[in-house]
Amino acid sequence: MNFQLRSLWVAIGFLTRIPVGDPSRGGTKPVRMAAAVPWFPVVGLFLGVVHGLFWRGLHEMTTPLLAAVLSVAALALLTGAFHHDGLADIADAFGGGWTVEQRMEILKDSRLGTYGTTALILAFGTEVAALASLDAVAGGQALLAAHVLGRGMAVAVMLVAPIGGDGLGASYMTELRRFTGSVAVVFALAIAIAALGSTAMIALPLAAVAAGLVTLLAIRKIGGVTGDVLGAIHVMAFLAVLVAATV
């Protein structure tokens, strides 16, 4: 398996619960997470296709609301609700911490608090409500775009935002190559435009605003972006696309 393909498998293993072994090892050169980051929108494309097909199949068999709930649950199992964990963590940290030190300590705490619980309820509720209001085709297209663009926005933020803390997110943000990261962002934008058509004129700016607001909040609260913040950026951009599709 060549280095580029192993990088893709590392990205799949990082963003999903799919058992891919440890493709970061082996070969002549180990794969570092920074090399896998540009593949994040490609993994999003895969997840968008899976989620969209699952949603459309359920939509034909049951009510839109139940189809939305079941498809959201299926993707949570497939991804381990990985990005939502980041959203919950920053909600607890930014809502409950009074100093940078307190907020960083809360980010490291695996326990879920009131702010995090509320954020998850609102996020999943918004996703279900938006999906349930769309028909089978429009919902599938919106999911495809949302999965790709959410991860693309996270990569874009990695390229421009200051780093907060010294966790895993800091390590791969530091080592991310600007060219490959930019290619990943352009790929995400192209897929979103192709999937959404004219709706992209609303969805792309809305997703960018959502990602930008989370980034600015993180800079204000902890001085920069962490892995948890990147997860929250994906979720908020993802939801922005779904909401735009309902307009």
**Is residue 25 domain-resident?**
no
**Is residue 21 domain-resident?**
no
pLDDT tens per residue across span 214-229: 999 999 999 999 999 9
**Is residue 134 domain-resident?**
yes
pLDDT band (50, 70, 90) for residue 110: confident
**Is residue 33 domain-resident?**
no
**Mean pLDDT (whole number) for 105-123:** 92
Q: What total number of domains does the chain contain?
A: 1
- What's phi and psi for 167, nearest 5 deg? -85, -165
Domain hosting 47: range is 40-246
**Is residue 6 domain-resident?**
no
**Is the pLDDT at 34 greater than 60, yes or no?**
yes
**Is residue 167 domain-resident?**
yes
**Is residue 215 domain-resident?**
yes
Long-range contacts of 51-54 (CB under 8 A, 24+ apart): 51/75, 51/143, 51/144, 51/147, 52/139, 52/140, 52/141, 52/143, 52/144, 53/140
**Is residue 11 domain-resident?**
no
* Full-model pTM: 0.93
CB environment 146-169: b (16+ within 10 A), e (fewer):
bbbbbbbbbbbbbeebebbbebeb
Q: What radius of gyration, in Å, describes the C-alpha atoms of the chain?
A: 17
**Closest Cα to residue 244, out of 184, 204, 190?**
204
**Is the pLDDT at 121 greater than 70, yes or no?**
yes
CA-CA distance, 189 to 185, in Å (whole number)?
6
